[in-house]
Structure 1
Amino acid sequence: MRIAVIGAGIGGMSAAFDFINAGHQVVIYESAPYVGGLAAGFKDEGWEWSVEHFYHHWFQSDRDMLGLIRELGLQDKVVFPRPKTVVYYKEKFYPLDSPLAALTFPGFTLPDMIRFGLVTAYLRYLADWKPLEKVTADEWMRKAYGERLYSVLFEPLLQGKFGQHYKSVNMAWFWARFKVRTTRLGTFQGGFQAFSDTFAEILRKRGVEIHLNTPVERIESGTNGQVNILLKEGEQVSFDQCLVTVGPGLLAKLAPGLPEDYLRGLLTLKSMGAVVMVLALRHPLSEEGYYWFNIPKSAGYPFLALVEHTNFLPSRYFGGDHIVYIGDYLDADHEHFRLSKEELLERFLPVLPRFNPRFEPGWVRKTWLFRTTYAQPVPLVNHSQNIPAIRTPLPGLYFASMSQVYPWDRGTNFAVQIARRAAKMMLEDLTKRN
């Protein structure tokens, strides 16, 4: 059978891996000039490793991603450093990524620490997500953790992640963060782009066709249960099945022949975009070696997070450059999606001395700007009722995206999980047809 995959992200390539292993012909269409999707990266001259457009890492609990890597025989190329994460409290940053750090954090009293430990342990080991999706995270955590803990730790995270929507996000989303995340963070030798390129080469050697710079214009029903894919310049290709791994809004645009209720479900899903600027600095920004700075919007910073990548990986991999991400989750109509790189840099540079008083604009060697309007789904109360079905009502057309990984948060691990679940379903459906 001939199977098409729309999108050469890690999820799309994972599904293609299962299809080719089952003996089918597989063609991947990707509009970008590279594989990797939202986990793709870039390399500047003199760098040994790539840097991701949007900061990425793996957790030690990422069983689907790490399991795939083992299947590919690439497990020896995965590394798991333990970087330092800090939170903002009264004009300073403090580590809060271990029990010892919690004991010394000035924002906690002893009763706070006991309450924090008990509630967090409940969420991690005892709680079930289904009742939690019936209440907002704002409401549940205010009661469970108390106003003080909530306002210091959790409200800033929700506000930064979801902006004006933060009071509407359900508690199951927060539960998922406690349930599976680890303090050790992983990456691939050479960067995520090195993994994606290696994965793509393995697929090509197995017979998968990967067409880059090839956007799909439309997906329609064909004859005899086939799916027709229309490319630019009127070219039409027919397949027995098609898996779409892009966002729900783009699927609605590509397949307007889907039934109205399914289309409406795709278009009513809320999501946030991401704006990320990458700086190559001549000197380290954090003298304490901090990797991830969580920043409350109320503190007056024009971004959500500052991530010093070279406090996670050595600067020697990047020609001696010190790599800093400045990132934010924003609604797609926010002005940061319209401003030029130079205009955004003018807003960001004046606050960098708050991380290091010695910082000067002359430290900046080069900058890059990356934006996407689809980066973070917004799960509302009872969100499980809104998840689009993998098997769409259009015969032969299937959908697997990060909008369907709920209650888990978006990321490459769950992209692999949802894509391989879709692949299994598709293969079973092929067996029934034949």
Structure 2
Amino acid sequence: MKIVIVGSGLAGLSAGYKLCKSNEIVIFEKDAEIGGMAASYCRNFAGKKYFIEKYYHHIFRSDSELLDLIRELGLEGQMLWLKGKNAYFVDGKNYPMNTPGEILKFKPLSFTDLVKLGLLVLRIKLINNTISYDRIKAKDWILDTAGQSVYENFFAPLMKSKFGENAENVSAAWLIGRVKIRSDRGKEGEKLGYLKGGFNSLIEALAREITAYGGKILQNETVTEIVIKDNAVQGVIANGNFIPCEAVISTVEPRVLDILTKGKLGALHATLQSIRYQGTACALIGLDRKLMKDGNYWLNIKANVPFGAVIEHTNFMPFEDYGEHLIYVTSYFQDENNDLWIKKEEEVLDSYLKGLEKMFSDFSRTDIHWAKLFRRMDTAPVYEQGYLEKVLPFSPGPSGLYLAGMFSSTNYPERSMNGSLKAGFEVASFFMKKEENCEVCWLD
């Protein structure tokens, strides 16, 4: 059976990987590089070639499907578990946030507030099902559970930097999912997983498996329509050409899917339009020397700067792997009229660099080897109050049409690489079961 997959992110590639042995797979990718949000930038520096993700990524201990796949693809030898030091920049000062002892020294919160924060985290760890928290706003739940000071001085700046004007609409389910995924900490702090050589190894390994079985991955190819007739998929139109197929797996964001299907998903149309996505503007900068000399990997920020976090990759992975220091400077935005989306790359980079100069007195632009800005409008859904009712099904109705991606149940209430991988696996399993049932019905 010929299956067209729209998008080569982890959901699309993992679905193709599961289906390629018994089907003809064609993946359409609108960008020059495959991988979607997990795509990498290739850099040559001082005779050293390396790959670095355009948008920072790491693996959590709970990412069982991702870890199983890494072993299955023979990449286990590249797997590393490293300490990623975290801090919170408030009022011009870095506060380490790795161990209970360090957190107790977080001066923006009183001792009583710190106890309330600790009890809130403990309470979250005991929550096994977030369904009942979906219709509760995170802000309201924090206020009721830990009080005004904990919300305003700890959570509000973090939520504002991540969700902007939508921060107060985010559900408690998301907050609980977020804290749980980041709560695997020992006495010395959190350890995160990474593939030596970068996640490009994973993306390329999936692509090799697909093409080894005759699948095709077409880059710089944009699908402009998923053709549906008589409630059944007929094929897709890409670059003006009609490509017939028996099934389509779409991984694009909901509003784009609505455009591609020409509104033929009936009752799902309103849901597709109502799922709010946000974009990200992520700068990746190569430096001659360290930015955060205290060894911090991840720095959350409460300050008047145009970004919400600084991630120093080479305070996590060894500097020797790259030969230069690498940092991410990132911010989210909520609409296409935001300056982070409409301004030229050099203007956004300049605003970021001014923010770094404001935060780090010894930072100098002369230390910069290179800087790139990567932007996407379809980073992830905003998990607003009541989002659970909008989670898209793997099969939305028309025969032969399947959906998998950031919007899938596997990525709720908190998205991850593992969640997108699981979405691809589950839609492939759903497809295979449906085909098996059809064959049984035909034999009967």
Q: State the TM-score, normalizing by the size of structure 1.
A: 0.94
Q: Provide the residue aligned with 1:204 in structure 2.
A: 211
Q: Is the 8 A contact 1:218 1:255 kept in 2?
A: yes
Counterpart position of 1:184: 191
Q: Does the alignment pair 1:113 with 2:126?
A: no
**Equivalent residues in 2 for 1:138-287 (5 A)?**
138-181=139-182, 182=184, 183-221=190-228, 225-233=232-240, 235-287=241-293
Match of 1:19 in 2: 19
CA shift at 1:257, angstroms? 4.5
> What do residues 381-405 of structure 1 show as CA deviations (whole Å, max 9, x unaligned)?
2211112222122211011110223
Q: Which moved more, 1:406-415 or 1:280-289?
A: 406-415
Superposed counterparts of 1:351-370, under 5 Å:
351-370=355-374
Spell out the pairing of 1:248-397 with structure 2 (5 A cutoff): 248-296=254-302, 299-318=303-322, 320-332=323-335, 333-397=337-401
Of all paired residues, the percent bearing the same amino acid is 27
| Contact in 1 for aligned 2:10/2:36 (Cα 8 Å) | yes
- The answer to whether the aligner puts 1:90 opposite 2:91 as a matched pair is yes
Partner Cα distance (1:180, 1:291) in 2: 17
The 1:53/1:351 distance shift into structure 2, 3 A limit, reads: same
Cα distance between partner residues in 2 of 1:81 and 1:198: 23
Alpha-carbon distance change, 82 to 2 in structure 1, aligned in 2, over 3 angstroms: same
Decide whether the 8 Å contact of 2:89 with 2:95 is kept in 1. Answer: yes
* 3-state DSSP of counterpart to 1:263: helix
Q: SS where residue 365 of structure 1 aligns?
A: strand
What is the CA–CA distance in structure 2 between the aligned matches of 1:310 and 1:97, rounded to whole Å?
18
- Counterpart-to-counterpart distance in 2, 1:127 and 1:149: 23
Q: Tell me the SS of whatever aligns to 1:111.
A: helix
Does structure 2 retain, via aligned residues, the 8 Å contact 1:89–1:152? no
Equivalent residue, structure 2, for 1:413? 418
Instruction: Answer yes or no: is 1:398 the counterpart of 2:414.
Output: no
Closer, same or farther: CA 154–305 of 1 in aligned 2, 3 Å = same
Kindly indicate whether the alpha-carbon contact (under 8 Å) linking 1:80 and 1:186 is maintained by their aligned counterparts in 2. yes
| Structure 2: distance between partners of 1:407 and 1:217 | 28
Secondary structure (helix, strand or coil) at the match of 1:81 reads: strand
Q: Secondary structure at the match of 2:71?
A: helix
2:429 paired with 1:430: no
Q: Please give the root-mean-square deviation of Cα atoms over the aligned residues, in Å.
A: 1.8
Alpha-carbon distance in structure 2 between the residues aligned to 1:360 and 1:3? 51
What is the CA deviation profile of residues 246-265 of structure 1, one whole-angstrom value per residue up to 9, with x for unaligned ones?
Answer: 21122112111523421221
Unaligned runs of 5+ in 2: 185-189, 440-444
- For residues 244-293 of structure 1, the C-alpha deviation after alignment (integer angstroms, 9 at most, x for no partner) is 11211221121115234212211111121000111111111111111111
- Give deviations 1:360-419, integer Å, cap 9, x for gaps: 221112111111111131122221111222212221101111022353322211001112
- Give, in angstroms, the shift of residue 136 of structure 1: 0.3
2:187 alignment counterpart: none
Is residue 29–residue 221 contact of structure 2 (8 Å, CA) maintained in 1? yes
Shift of 1:423: 1.1
SS of residue matched to 1:105: coil
Q: For structure 1, which segment, 102-111 or 246-255, has the greater mean C-alpha deviation from structure 2 after superposition?
A: 102-111
Supply the AA of the counterpart residue of 1:30: E
Greater Cα offset, 146-155 or 224-233: 224-233
Contact in 2 for aligned 1:279/1:364 (Cα 8 Å): yes
The residue matched to 1:61 in structure 2 has which SS?
Answer: coil
Q: Which amino acid aligns with 2:30?
A: S
Report the Cα distance in structure 2 between the residues aligned to 1:225 and 1:433, rounded to whole angstroms. Answer: 15
> Equivalent residue of 2:43, what SS?
coil
- Following superposition, the deviation at residue 327 of structure 1 comes to 0.4
d(CA) in 2 for partners of 1:210 and 1:323? 30
SS at match of 1:290: coil
1:10 matches 2:10? yes
On the 8 A contact 2:73/2:205 being kept in 1, the answer is no
Give the AA of the match of 1:207.
G
Name the one with the larger strand percent.
2
> Quick check: 2:228–2:264 contact (8 Å CA) kept in 1?
no
Cα contact 1:129–1:407 (8 A) shared by 2: no
Partner in structure 2 of residue 129 of structure 1: 130
Q: Matched residue of 2:330: which SS?
A: strand
| Residue 36 (structure 2) aligns with | 37
Deviation at 1:225, TM superposition (A): 4.7
Tell which deviates more after alignment, 361-370 or 190-199: 190-199
Number of aligned residue pairs: give it.
Answer: 429
1:70 maps onto 2:77 in alignment: no
Asked if the contact 2:288–2:368 (Cα under 8 Å) also holds between the matched residues in 1, the reply is yes
Is this contact kept in 1: 2:236–2:242, CA < 8 A?
yes
Q: 2-side partners of 1:137 and 1:257: how far apart?
A: 33
- The structure-2 alpha-carbon separation of the partners of 1:226 and 1:334, relative to structure 1 and needing over 3 Å to count, comes to closer
Cα deviation for residue 315 of structure 1 reads 2.1
Deviations 1:122-174 (A, max 9, x none): 11123531111121000100121122222222111111111111111110000
